[in-house]
Amino acid sequence: MVQDEVQGYHWNKQQCTLHPIVMYANDRNNICQTFTFCFISYDLSHDTGFVYALQKVLLGYVQSHWLHIQNTEYFSDGCSGQCKNYKNFLDLTYHKHDFDVDASWVFFAKVMECHHVMALVAWLSEN
């Protein structure tokens, strides 16, 4: 059937993951700055290991540019595969040990509508 062909094509084409991140940080004058990042990966598992790998890259960048960082606050829509499982809470427990920075994590019940993220995704889809 033609319907099966369309579905088969959909699941067999090459894909990647776009993981947009918005970071707010105060500069030396205590003025809030906005930074947008987008990680592109062929890892489609979207699991805790993927999130931890993003944290390593992002916190390495942050710590190299802002030496005075003392706390990281994460805000997420709480995707169960990425964020709301025992492995992620274990990572949060060891965040200070792994990254030398305290952390807290806030989970929202629905997808967050962040204009910075939406603008970044729109730009990426056009380019």
Residue 100's alpha-carbon distances to 45, 71, 72, 127, in angstroms, are: 27, 9, 10, 37
pLDDT per residue, tens digit, the chain (127 aa), is 455 555 666 666 677 777 888 888 877 788 888 888 888 888 777 777 888 888 899 899 888 887 678 888 887 765 655 556 777 788 888 999 999 999 988 776 665 556 656 665 666 666 5
- pTM higher than 0.85 for the full model? no
Structural domain including 6 reads 2-126
From residue 9, give the alpha-carbon distance in Å to each of 4, 30, 71, 126. 9, 51, 45, 23
Could you tell me which residues are beta bridge partners of residue 40?
Answer: 18
Q: How many domains does the structure of the chain reveal?
A: 1
122 Cβ neighbours under 8 A, 6+ residues apart: none
